[in-house]
Structure 1
Amino acid sequence: MRTDVYHNRMQLVRAARDVIGHRGSTDVGIREIASVAGVGTATLHRHFSTKEMLIDEVSVVRWSRMEDYARRGVRPGYTPLQNVLAILEAFTRMTTADDRFITAAGLTVGRAPRAIHPIREAFEPEFAALWIQAQREGMLRRAADPRDAVELAGAIRDRTRRIQMMTMLTAGICAPAVDAESLVSEMCLKRSK
C-alpha cells in the first residue's frame, strides 16, 4: 500500500475512533469523520464502503498490532514470559486509550466484530506458542489459559489503575516464584523510554 494511501486510511480510523469516542455514540456522519481526518468523503468511500466497516477497522487495527506482536515478539531478546506480559500490557494500553470508542460502539469483552475473527485466529496460536514456552520454563501457572488472560487484559480500561490491574493479572497467571510487581514495573519503565 502506498504511503499516502496508508496515511489516509489510518487518519480515517483515528478520526472515527476519536469522533465516536468523543460523542459517545456511533450516530456520527461520515462527512464529520472525513473532515476530522483531513480528507474528503470520496477518500473515505474509497477505503470503506460503509461507516460500519470503518468502525470495525478500529478493532482490526488494534488486533493487527496484537497479531504482529505475537508473531514477531515485542522486543528483540525478550523471553517468552516477557513477550506474553508485554503483549498483554500493550493490549491494556490500547483498550484503555480506546475505552470511550469501545463503549460508544457497544463492543464488549468476549464479543468481537466479525471483521477481526481472521486476525484473532492468526493471533491465538502465535500467542499460545509463547504462552506454552513460558509454561515449560516454569514461569506461568499450568492452569492459566492464554485466552482468559487476553479477555481479562481487554477488560482493563481504567487509566488511573491500569498498572495495578495489570500487576494483579500478572500475579494471577505467573508461577509463584515470579515477582509480578517487578516484572510489570520493569516493563512499564522500558515502555516509557
Structure 2
Amino acid sequence: MTEPKPWVLPALEWGPLLLFFAVFMLNRGGSVSLWGQDYTPLVFATLVFIPALALATLIRWRLTGHLSPMQIATLLLVVVFGGLSVWLNDPRFFKIKPTIIYLLFAGLLGFSLVTRRNWLQAILSEALPMDAEGWRKLTGRMALLFLALAVANEVVWRTMTETTWVYFKTFGMPLVIFVFLMGNAGLYRAHSIEVPTDDATK
C-alpha cells in the first residue's frame, strides 16, 4: 500500500472540523432554509459536518488500511448525535456529543487500568515505545484529561454562547490535548525503551 503524502492525513483530520467552523461562522446570526425547514447555523453546520467526516474517514481507511477505535467511535457518535440534532432541529444533541465521547474514552482507559489490560499501549506502542509503568502513568493521566474535557464541555455549552462553544470545540479542545501531549514529554523520555531493529535481530 502506497504511503500517503505527509499533508494528507492532517488534512483529513482537520478538514471536516474546519469546514464545520467555516459553515457556522458564515451563517452565524441568521438561519438557513433547506427543504422547507429553517435550521440554526449550528444545526446546518452539523448537517454539513456529518458527511464530510464520513468521507474523510473512508478516505483515511482506503489510504492506510485501518482505523483506530477512537476514530470509529467518534464517527459513530457524530452520526448518531449529529443526526439527532438535524432530525429534531435541536443543537443540544450535537453539543453533548463531545461529553459522551470523552466520558467513553475516560471510562475505557480507567477500566483498562483496573483490569491491567493497557489498551492504549496496544494501540500506540509501535509509535511510542515505553515500558509498562510509563504506559500505566500515561493511561491514568489521559483518563483524567478526558474526564476534565467532558466536564469542561458541559460547562461551556450550558453557560456560554453558541459561538463560544464552537470556538472551544474547534480550537480549544484540540489545543488542550496538544498541550497535554507535549507536557508529558518528560514521561516519554523517562520510560522510553529501545525497539530492536531488523539488523539487530539478524
TM-score for both structures, normalised by structure 1: 0.30
Structure of greater relative contact order (alpha carbons < 8 Å, 6+ residues apart): 1
**Greater C-alpha Rg:** 2
